[in-house]
Amino acid sequence: MKAVVFHGPRDVRVERVPDPQIEAATDVLVKITTTGICGSDLHMYEGRTGLEPGRVLGHENLGKVVEIGAAVEEVQVGDRVCVPFNVSCGYCKNCERGLTAFCLTMNPFGAGAAYGFDGLGPYNGGQAEYLRVPHGDFNCLRLPSDRALKETDYVMCADIFPTGYHATHLAGVRPGESVVIYGAGPVGLMAAYSALIKGADRVMVVDAHTERLRIAEEIGAIPIDDRKAPPVEQVLDLTDGEGADRGCECVGFQAHDPDGIEHPSMTLNDLVRSVRPTGTFGVVGVFLPQDPGACDEVSKHGEMLFDFGDFWWKGQAMATGQCNVKTYNRHLRDLIADDKAAPSFVVSHELSLDEAPEAYRHFDARENGWTKVVLHP
């Protein structure tokens, strides 16, 4: 089959690789019809992780079931399914509690597994013609019959819609509250959208990209351009000097100032300063235990200068981590089915698998207009 293979920093190629096979009786094989490129792929694309060459990328997958293992009972050949980016077993101590991003059995090297991801197990991704889905009955989300019309909406249920929602969940967003979101990439836009779905009052989104801020404004959020004035000042101005009730971090360890200089702790410290005393924030932007490409020695080991004194003094709380997609994807799918949500508003490009190398280049450069790419293998 054809697949997007990682060869090294800024080098992905569409190549022929062996077709995936059913390996366990609980596996399902999916023919991919839509697969997204994520900001998380870019950390690997830029060589900021230890991902070994040869891995097929892609963890935002949707397609048609073409083969099932002997022990698969619920999912049938022909079903249209959206596959969470987490690979999880369903029966371990964490999965039982719904914490599928921290499954204890699917990654030999730690808690949590995902497709085409450094440090999260050996699984190949779905930027390819076919994908092997372990524990198919548990991991496949079946889609309703309008799926052909809303394929780019439903594919957002694999990662960024649940992840944006998770950020608001970790932050504890409630109706009527104000929320500040750092990052207007696809994840930040989904966090803003989710906060609005939850009935938040004032949703402020910080970034330096005109086009991304325009999309934030279009869905009803307040754009905050950090090239114009420090974002903390702008948030305090908009909240009577108090700070937002809640905050979401949707940028991660490659956070940078408007000149492009990286400061890994920048968004976290900005959150401490722009969220009110006793406010809470959710951090879904990725931070890594090791970053060989970091700008200084401390950051190379995932450590940083975090303003813990102010954080403690303000009595704030913070929750972090990968999204447990299965906690949310069924309900978010139903919002899409009932026309109450249409997260495909973030999609700027629908391209073929062969165009993946170009798509990576443009999306990685955060070129104006390249907000979110989905590929149709």
Ligand X SMILES: NC(=O)c1ccc[n+]([C@@H]2O[C@H](COP(=O)([O-])OP(=O)(O)OC[C@H]3O[C@@H](n4cnc5c(N)ncnc54)[C@H](O)[C@@H]3O)[C@@H](O)[C@H]2O)c1
Residues lying near Zn ion in the complex (CB under 5 A) are found at 38, 40, 88-89, 92, 95, 103, 159
Helices of type H across the chain: 39-45, 93-96, 136-139, 151-154, 160-171, 186-197, 210-218, 231-238, 266-274, 297-300, 308-313, 329-337, 356-364
Q: Which does 89 bind (CB under 5 to 8 A by kind): Zn ion, ligand X, none?
A: Zn ion
Among residues 45, 165, 182, 193, the one that binds ligand X under rule CB under 6 A: 182
Tokens matching residue 322: 């990968």
Q: Which does 183 bind (CB under 5 to 8 A by kind): ligand X, Zn ion, none?
A: ligand X
| Cβ–Cβ under 8 Å, residues 153 and 343 | yes
Q: Of the ranges 44-52, 65-73, 88-96, 181-189, which one interacts with ligand X (CB under 6 A)?
A: 181-189
Shortest Å distance, C-beta 70 to ligand X: 32
Overall residue count recorded for the chain in this entry: 377
Closer Cβ to Zn ion, 34 or 239, answer by number? 34
Torsion angle (degrees, nearest 10) of CA 194, 197, 200, 206: 40
Residues in region 191-250 near ligand X by CB under 6 A: 206-209, 212, 226, 250
Considering only CA atoms, which of 223, 181, 224, 220 is closest in space to residue 201? 220
- Judged on CB neighbours under 10 Å (0-12, 13-18, 19+), 90 is middle
Q: Does 112 bind ligand X (CB under 6 A)?
A: no
Closer Cβ to ligand X, 75 or 113, answer by number? 113
Q: Does 291 bind ligand X (CB under 6 A)?
A: no
If DSSP codes are grouped into helix, strand and coil, which group holds residue 9?
coil
Q: Does 120 bind ligand X (CB under 6 A)?
A: no
Q: Does 326 bind ligand X (CB under 6 A)?
A: no
Q: Does 288 bind ligand X (CB under 6 A)?
A: no
Shortest Å distance, C-beta 20 to ligand X: 23
Q: Roughly how many angstroms between the first and final C-alpha of the chain, as a whole number?
A: 10
Q: Does 267 bind ligand X (CB under 6 A)?
A: yes
Q: Which does 43 bind (CB under 5 to 8 A by kind): Zn ion, ligand X, none?
A: ligand X
| Cβ–Cβ under 8 Å, residues 245 and 274 | no
Binding footprint of ligand X on the chain (CB under 6 A):
38-40, 42-43, 159-160, 163, 182-188, 206-209, 212, 226, 250-252, 255-256, 266-267, 284-286, 322-323, 366
